[in-house]
Structure 1
Amino acid sequence: MARVATYAEFWPFYLREHGRAKTRALHYAGTALTFAFAAIAVLNGGWWWLAIPIAGYGFAWVAHFRVERNRPATFTHPLWSLVSDYRMFFLWLGGRLDRHLRAAGVDPNRA
C-alpha cells in the first residue's frame, strides 16, 4: 500500500482490505467481544482488561491471515485501523455499511 496522508484516503483502502464477508464477520465478532470484556473489566477488574485487545486483534488477525490472506492494516496505520474497526462495526450494525463498501469498490456479498 502506498502511504496515505489522510484518513479519508485510508478508509476506502481499509474497506478493500476487508473485502470478504467472512473477514468482516470475524471482525464483528472480535469487536463485539471487546465491548463484552470491557463491561466485565469495569464490573470485576482484574485480568479482563487484557482480554479486550486479545479478542479484538485475535479475531481480526485470524481473518486477515486465514480468510483475506493479506496483512492487517494495524501494522502500518494502528490508530486509523482501530478507528475503522469500530466505524465498520457500527455502520454494519446500523445497516449502512454496504454503501461505503460499494463506494470503495467492494461487493458487500462477496463470500
Structure 2
Amino acid sequence: MNSTEELNIAPDAKSFTSFETFYAFYLKEHSNTTCRRLHFLGSTLSLICLAMLAITGKPQYFLYGLLCGYGCAWIGHFVFEKNKPASFKRPLYSFMGDWVMYKDMWTGKIKF
C-alpha cells in the first residue's frame, strides 16, 4: 500500500501515464450506480443524436449529443457521486473511459 492509499487521497487525474492505469481510477470515480446509469443514458442519447445527424444532416444534433452526454454525466458526478468529472483534467482519457465503461456495462462486466 502506498502513502496515497494509506491517507485515502485520490490521485491527481493528470498523473496517469497510460489509459490502462487511468481506467482503474476512472472506475473508482464512478462507484455510484446512479452516476453510472446517467453516464449510460447520456452515451446512449449521444449515439442517437449522432445517428440523427447522419440521417438528417442537421448539425444541431452534434450539439444535442454533447449536451446529452456531458449533461447526464455531470449531473451524475455533482449530484450523486459528489466529485468533479475527470474530464476537467484528462478530457481524452475520460472520453475513452466513458466508452469503455459503456461497453463494459453492455457486456455485464460492470454492474448497471
Q: TM-score range by the shorter chain?
A: 0.7 to 0.9
1:39 alignment partner in structure 2: 51
Pairing 1:1-111 to 2, within 5 Å after superposition:
1-2=11-12, 3-46=15-58, 47-98=60-111
Q: Percent identity?
A: 32
- Unmatched 5+ residue regions in structure 1? 99-107
The separation in 2 between residues aligned to 1:87 and 1:25, in whole angstroms, is: 14
Unmatched segments (≥5 aa) in structure 2: 1-10
Q: Which has the higher contact order (CA 8 A, sep 6+)?
A: 1
Q: Give distance in 1, aligned partners of 2:109 and 2:78.
A: 26
User: SS of 1:28's equivalent?
Assistant: helix
Structure 1 counterpart of 2:3 = none
Provide the rounded CA distance (Å) in 2 between the counterparts of 1:8 and 1:90.
Answer: 15
Give, in whole Å, the separation in 2 of the partners of 1:24 and 1:40. 24
Runs of 4+ in 1 over 6 A off after TM superposition: none
Please, what is the CA RMSD of the aligned residues?
Answer: 1.2
Aligned length: 99
Structure 1, residues 49-88: CA drift from partner, whole Å, max 9, x if none? 1111111101000100000010100001101100110110
User: What is the SS of the residue equivalent to 1:38?
Assistant: helix
TM-score, normalising length: structure 2: 0.84
